Amino acid sequence: MTLRTTTKSIAFRRPLTLKAADGLQPAGTYVVETEEEAIPALSFLAYRRLSTTMTLSTRYGGAVVRQVVTIDPADLKEAQARDQD
């Protein structure tokens, strides 16, 4: 099985909400990773999405806590559209 991971940074100018994350997330740049697997037995190369995750950072006192949540790409797209309005 062939896997590939795509990593990108997405910037939000305003605070955002996601169904997979608790509460309001601050504006900023977030790392989003998508993992896909190759679909075997096709005459061309194609991939199927396995998961999409987003790294969230939260401050607790002087410490920064990072949390990786699995998100729905459609939910991310909606959050990006709200940020553009």
Tens of pLDDT, residue by residue over 27-76, are 999 999 999 999 998 999 999 999 999 999 887 788 888 899 999 999 99
Using CB atoms within 10 A of its CB, is residue 56 exposed (0-12), middle (13-18) or buried (19+)? buried
Output the pTM of the full model: 0.85
Residue 81: its pLDDT value, please? Answer: 96
Of 5-9, 18-22, 60-64, which one has max mean pLDDT?
A: 5-9
Residue 34: its pLDDT value, please? Answer: 98
β-strand pairing of 28-38 with 63-70 = unpaired
Residue 57: its pLDDT value, please? Answer: 84
Residues whose CB is less than 8 angstroms from the CB of residue 14 and which lie 6 or more positions away in sequence, other chains included: 27, 82, 83
Is residue 56 within 8 Å of 21, Cβ to Cβ? yes
